[in-house]
Each structure stands twice: as structure tokens, then as C-alpha cells.
Structure 1
Amino acid sequence: MIWRSLASLRLTVPLLLGLALAAVFGTFAPLEEGRYEIFYQRLWFRLLLGLLALNLSVCTVRSLLQRRRMLAVPTFPLNSADLDPPWRVLPEGLDRDRAAARLAALGYRVVAHPQGLLAQQGIGGRWGGTVVHLSLLLIMAGALLGGAGFVGTRQLHVGHEATDYFDWAAQADRPLGFTLRLDHFEPVHYPIELRLAVVEADGSRPPLLLTTREGETVELPRPGLTAQVEKFLPFEQMLFLQLYRDGLPLGRYQALPAGGKETSPIAFGLTLHPDAFRDPMLKQLHSEVSILEEGQVVKQGVIEVNRPLVHRGVTIYQTAHGRDPFGFWFAGFQLSRDPGEPLVWSGCVLLSLGLLTAFFRRWRVLLFAWPEGRGVLEPLRGFAGEAGSADLQVLLHALAVSVTAEAGTSADRYDP
């Protein structure tokens, strides 16, 4: 009795409705410390999920046992007069061999059975519901296992290292297990439109103002001399140019803002400096990091937004950036370990496959027998409702047509 109750839909439906209702309150309830997940980590919510997992587990086991019993030796009344409705009676002249051949031609897998023949179609769909149940259990197990992981943060200046992180759940520093070093950081912007001032070193002419942007090339007031805008650093107001003469590269030129402690170098009697620029639009955050173990670099990589770095099960995300009062860059990282993530992803893939199989590969099972010399059939699965009855009518018609066609062929073959 308890076994049946645990596998009953009368338990599944209230559990799903309760979880849905709780999720609504979890979405609109006041946040605790700005974190949504705290609501769903409460013991009562996890107990509901655990009861649903038990319900799915028992239901899956019962389903497997039922399938095994049904396909082992299914039986039905052998007296054709007792069969209702009457269309379960097979066409005249359709013996065992003809039925097996015709069913195989219609896409059924036919095997011998103590009562006659067992025909199956869409065997893959037989496991669709089971795969869905197993995938949901995998996702739940992965979510539960994820509680053994951690989420923490660490802020680093360029050139600095860290061997620990701040665990927000424990409100304490925890060892990371390796050393994280920030080698380089820079914010990447969309091409910045700027105005370039070209000044004669001797002051003989007024400055030439050119409007350009990163990636473009401008002509300088010297025969054949051009400059390609390579990169502009808006915070430092440094402009890097590549100089060319008649298409041949001459070298890199660093243009500094006018009026600073340092001035731009003189090239071909000209000095160049950025005069004005539009507000930059941030495109990406770019961090270059090294992973060290026992003082040795074991891994190097780039961390950007939506491009984390993974080492020893720890995923490192780019989350923040800034400059301190002295003008030095720092980057903020989130570090997390989720041991249940492989189970969750595997469950999601299985869930998709199970749903596709269940909806697009209908499992159908038919039992054929010939008691008292009269062929009869019993639909065991996949022919429920009016649509199933209509499909059975189509199948019987196809079998009858095959008998008629074979009889006609035989008559033509032996007609004197």
C-alpha cells in the first residue's frame, strides 16, 4: 500500500503544485542579503524536493517492473467469440507467416510468443518516460551535491597573488589550494572616436586636427607619411600609432596628452597627441592570469566576462574591475566549485532525449494469436483512445489488403 502511494500521481501532482507555489513566493519575497538562493536552501523546501525525488524513484522502478512483466508472457482470452470489439479478429487467410512478413514490412519488430506473435514498433519510445524520470533524478542529485561546493570572491591588483578566497556562506577566508596571480588587466572598449592634434615641432604652423578612431589610418603633413591608430587608452589618455612611409612600416609611436609631465616624441619634425575623445563604451574585461603550485606556473590563461578559467574543479569568473586612488588597476574574480555540475548537465541532455523519444517515438505493442484457427489480436500498448482505435483499423485494413493482393497474385500465377 505504501509502495503504491509513493508511486501515485495523487502524490506527484500536489508536490509539483506545492513546489510551484513556493517558487512564486521565493521570487517575490523580500531578498535576504540580496540573494535569491537562500529561500530555496531552506530545509522544508529541500524536504519537498526529496519527497518528489522519492516519488519519481518509486514510480520509475514500478514502471520498469511493469514493462518487464508485460513483455515476458502477456496473455489474453483465446476464444475469439469473447473478443470485444469484433475488429480484433484478423482477416481471413492471414496465417502466422503472412502476418509476420507483412508486419515486418510495416515497420514492426516481430518475435515468437507462446500464444503466437509479439509485434513492437517504436521500441525506443518504450524508454522515453523512464529516461525523463532518471534525468530529473540526476538533476536533483546534482543540485544536492552542489551544496558541497563553494562560492567566493577575491580582488587582485596587477602583479599580485592570492592563495585564498572569501567564502560568503562561511563569512571567512578559505584556502584556495593553489596560487592565483593577475599578470595583466585592461578594459576593452568599442572603437573610440577621437581627435588627433598634429603639431609642427618648430611652431611654424597651427596644429592640424584630425578626427579618427581605432583601426583607421590618417595622412600626416609630410609626403607619403601616414599613421594607423592602433590603440587608445582613455584613462591614461595614451595613443599608440603605427607610422608608415609609402606603405612601409617605420615603427610604433606613443602619443601623450599635451601639457603633461612627459611630451610626445618628435618624428619627422612633428609631435602628435590626443586632443579630445568621446566617452568610451565598455566592451569586455580582459584579465591574463597564471596558476602556480609549489611556486611553479602550471597554467596560464585569459579570463573575460562569459569566458571563465577552470583549474582543479574551480571555475574563475571575471566580475569586477577598477582603479585605486593611485591609478593602479585591480580586477575582481568569483571563484566557485560545483561538484554536481556534471550531473546537472548530463540530466539536462537526458531530459531532452527522453522528451523527444517519448513524444516522437510512440511505443506500440500488439499480440497476435490463432486460437481455433481464427486469427485475433490484442493491443497491449500505444493504441488507447479513439486515435488508437483508428490506427488499429488502418493496420487491419493494410493486413487485409496484403492478403487480397497475395491471393490475386497467386490466381494470376496459376490461371490456365
Structure 2
Amino acid sequence: MLAKAFKFIDSLLKSTNFAIFFMIFIGVISIYGTLFPPRTPFDFNLYKTPFFISLLFLFAINVGYCCYFRIIRVYVAIIKGKFTGKVFCSVKKDILENFKKRGFKIKQIEDGYLVSKGIVKTYSIVLLHIFIVLLIITAGLSSYLGFLGTVNIHEKNGTDICFSWNEKKDVLLPFNIYINSTRIDYYPMPLKLEIVNLKDNTKKEIITKEREVIDYNGLKIRILKGVIERKSVVFSVLYNGTEIGTFENEFLHENFSFKIKLLAYMDPLPRQFYADITIQDRMGNRDSKTININNPMEFQGYRIYLIDIGKDDFGFPYVGLQITYEPMLRMIWIICVLIILTLIIYPFVNEYHIKLKNEDNGFNIFVWKEILDPAVLDMIRTYEIK
């Protein structure tokens, strides 16, 4: 009974179909984690559960087991020339010299010779499976051992404490984060303006936005900024291609004078958030950087992301930071690059394994997969024993 169970498990782990089913199963489960990510540290996080991490390790075992018995052992047998099948043809013994001239690797085996070329393709497919197994294991360990924390810090203040999403409590960081300053870059604000000619008191309403240039009585007026607090407009005037100067609300000149009133505006949309931060560890090592959204700061393996800038209930500006530590991130990237390299090599290298089995008057040829380059095939035919 036990032997049957082991045999069933063995056949299951060797099955490519089971590996594909397992991969699809993990993918289907991952849909939930993608559609319903945790919003707070106390929400359910599928990817951090022992169940999901166990699935990854089981999949790694499945792929590794399948790789060893279905690929590595098969290729070891090929490299040792332990394959037969239908005789491709019989050839004269002096064919060996021609194989050498064509760059084939010739290896003597028990019952003849193994002629090989493109062995790198064999290694690439084996390494591809090994790298996939390593990627799964490394990603699982990185997820399990990694750190995710968040903290809000007021401007001109610092802290070495953050809330850990893993432990769901405040934890001590190995460094102090200090916020030097913050700023927000906005998209140009849409404005509704009224231009009043101070000489004849004519009025003209214009809808524009910051940084745009408008034409008015032969002048070009560049709207620089709408100052909401003062309900004013800062602008510059260009006349005959020359900038006369920068003004606020009024422009007085002997030939033309006007006043610009701010009638209405739309709240500006933030384009980018910036925070100037300084980090210092307990040994005195420090670094400073201006971070923004999607441009984190790296310090001793940690990544500090800017996720929010705002003001508290008392009007004091603060910065929201996300702190991550992924101990195997570089290893994951290296493995991904190696996987890509093996995938690039595989389709562009031709692989030949030809067994020359000793016979009295020559060799019997056995070809692995019986796929040969036409030039190699023609060469073999010239030595064929009729």
C-alpha cells in the first residue's frame, strides 16, 4: 500500500501536466490577492499567508523533481550516449575526421562514439528549469523575510519608529529619518480672468490657465501664477518680442495700461510630491535625497517611498512614508536576467547528438530526435554504406 502511494506521488511529481495544473491553480488563487489587496496592516493579505507561501514551495519542489527526472536525467543519458532506437544509417569509419573538421565534439563511449554539437542548448534548458526553481524559492523567502512599514513624520522632525505591517505594531528602525522640507508641484491651474483697459474702461473676459500666453491689444501676456490667497494674478508682458517685466494685477504704461482681475479658478491638481529627507544610522552614517512618488531612497538595503504629503488637523505639514526591506531583491533580479539569457540562447543554437555504434565494417548511426542540418545530413549520406 505504501509502495503504491509513493509510486503515485512519484508519477504525480514527474508529470508535466500536474506542474501546469499547479501553476494555473496558483494563478487562479492569486486573482483574489490582486483584486482585493490589503488596505490596512490588519486586512487579510493572501501573499503573506503560510498557505500561499507553502504553495510556492510545493510548486518549486514539483518543478525541481520534474526537472531532475524528466530533463536532467534524460540529458545525462544523452551526453553519455545511452540512446538507441531506429538505425538512421550505416557509415564508414573515416566519417569521424569529417565530424572533427565541422567542429563537432567527439567523445568515446563504451560501444562507439558520441558526436555532439550545440551542447550549450542542452545546458540552457537544464539551467532554465533550475533558475525557475531558484526564483520561486527566492521570491518566497524574500516575501517571508521581508519588511513593510509605514510612518507619518512632520516637517522639520524625525523618528526611528514605524508601524510594521508584518508584526502589526510599532517597531524600532536601525536608522533615523528626518524630514527637511516638502513641496508639491501642481499642474497649471485653469483661471477665469477679466482684463480691464484703464484708459477706456473696456472689459474682456478670458479663460486660460497658468503658463499660457494670451494676446491683448498687440501685447502678449504670459499668465505666470494665480495667487488664490490674495485673489491676484502674476503675469509678465512681452512687447515686440521683449519681456517688459513681471507684474501683479496691474500694468501701467504711457501707451497702454490695464488691470487683470481673478474671477474664478479650478483647484489645481498635484503633479508631483517632493520631500527632502536625511537618514542617519546609529553609527553616524548618513545620506540625504529628494524623493518623490516612484523615486524612493535606498539606504542599507531599505527602500523609503514617499506615499503622501498633507497637513494635520492643526495645519502642520507631514510626510507619509513607506519603508520596505526585501533581502533577496537583487538575487531575484539576477535570476530573472539569467532566465532571459537562457531563453535567448535556446532558439538560436542548433543541438545535435549523434551516436556512432561500432560495427565490423563501420558505424551504425543513431540520431537524437532525428533533426539534422541539411549540410550535416548530406555529409553523412556521402559516407553511407550502401
Deviation at 1:186, TM superposition (A): 1.0
Report what 1:414 is aligned to. none
Q: 1:397 to 1:66 in 2, by over 3 A?
A: closer
1:41-71 CA-partner distances (Å, limit 9, x unpaired) = 3324333332333344455566556645653
| Kept in 2: contact 1:142–1:339 (CA 8 A) | no
Deviation at 1:217, TM superposition (A): 1.9
1:13-62 CA-partner distances (Å, limit 9, x unpaired) = 54653564355345348959557872233324333332333344455566
Deviation at 1:278, TM superposition (A): 4.5
Question: Is 2:333 the counterpart of 1:336?
Answer: no
| Kept in 2: contact 1:232–1:240 (CA 8 A) | yes
Residues 400-415 of structure 1: matches in 2 within 5 Å? Answer: 402=382
Question: Is 2:272 the counterpart of 1:285?
Answer: yes
Deviation at 1:150, TM superposition (A): 1.4
SS state at 2:327 partner: coil
Report what 1:124 is aligned to. 120
Deviation at 1:343, TM superposition (A): 2.1
Deviation at 1:287, TM superposition (A): 0.8
CA–CA distance in structure 1, aligned partners of residues 31 and 25 of structure 2:
10
SS state at 2:274 partner: strand
Paired letter, 2:106? V
| Kept in 1: contact 2:156–2:178 (CA 8 A) | no
Q: 1:396 to 1:299 in 2, by over 3 A?
A: closer
Paired letter, 2:28? V
Task: Show structure 1 runs of 5+ residues with no match.
Answer: 77-82, 256-263, 405-416
What root-mean-square deviation, in Å, do the aligned CA atoms of Structure 1 and Structure 2 show? 4.2
Aligned residues: 368
| Kept in 2: contact 1:5–1:11 (CA 8 A) | no
Task: Show structure 2 runs of 5+ residues with no match.
Answer: none
Residues 96-135 of structure 1: matches in 2 within 5 Å? Answer: 96-101=96-101, 104=102, 109-113=104-108, 117-135=113-131
Q: Find the partner of 1:40 among 42, 47, 51.
A: 47
Paired letter, 2:25? L
1:346-371 CA-partner distances (Å, limit 9, x unpaired) = 22222233334445535321123553
Q: 1:149 to 1:84 in 2, by over 3 A?
A: closer
CA–CA distance in structure 2, aligned partners of residues 15 and 163 of structure 1:
45
Q: 1:37 to 1:4 in 2, by over 3 A?
A: same
Residues 373-388 of structure 1: matches in 2 within 5 Å? Answer: 373-379=361-367, 381=368, 383=369, 388=370
1:207-257 CA-partner distances (Å, limit 9, x unpaired) = 443333333223456xx754323345779866543344443344444x4xx
Q: Find the partner of 1:398 among 364, 378, 381.
A: 378
Deviation at 1:398, TM superposition (A): 0.6
Q: 1:393 to 1:210 in 2, by over 3 A?
A: closer
TM-score normalised by the chain length of structure 2: 0.75
Q: 1:109 to 1:84 in 2, by over 3 A?
A: closer
Report what 1:24 is aligned to. 28
SS state at 1:27 partner: helix
Question: Is 2:60 the counterpart of 1:53?
Answer: yes
CA–CA distance in structure 2, aligned partners of residues 233 and 133 of structure 1:
62
SS state at 2:342 partner: helix
User: Which of these two proteins has the greater Rg computed from alpha carbons?
Assistant: 1
Q: Which moved more, 1:120-129 or 1:155-164?
A: 155-164
Q: 1:8 to 1:396 in 2, by over 3 A?
A: farther
Q: 1:59 to 1:180 in 2, by over 3 A?
A: farther
Q: 1:28 to 1:8 in 2, by over 3 A?
A: closer
| Kept in 2: contact 1:303–1:317 (CA 8 A) | yes
Paired letter, 1:355? L
Paired letter, 1:150? F
SS state at 2:295 partner: coil
Q: Find the partner of 1:228 among 222, 226, 233.
A: 222
CA–CA distance in structure 1, aligned partners of residues 78 and 230 of structure 2:
77
1:331-350 CA-partner distances (Å, limit 9, x unpaired) = 43322111121122222222
Question: Is 2:185 the counterpart of 1:178?
Answer: no
Q: 1:16 to 1:59 in 2, by over 3 A?
A: closer
Paired letter, 1:247? G
Q: 1:21 to 1:273 in 2, by over 3 A?
A: same
Q: 1:226 to 1:9 in 2, by over 3 A?
A: same
Paired letter, 2:379? L
Higher strand share: 2
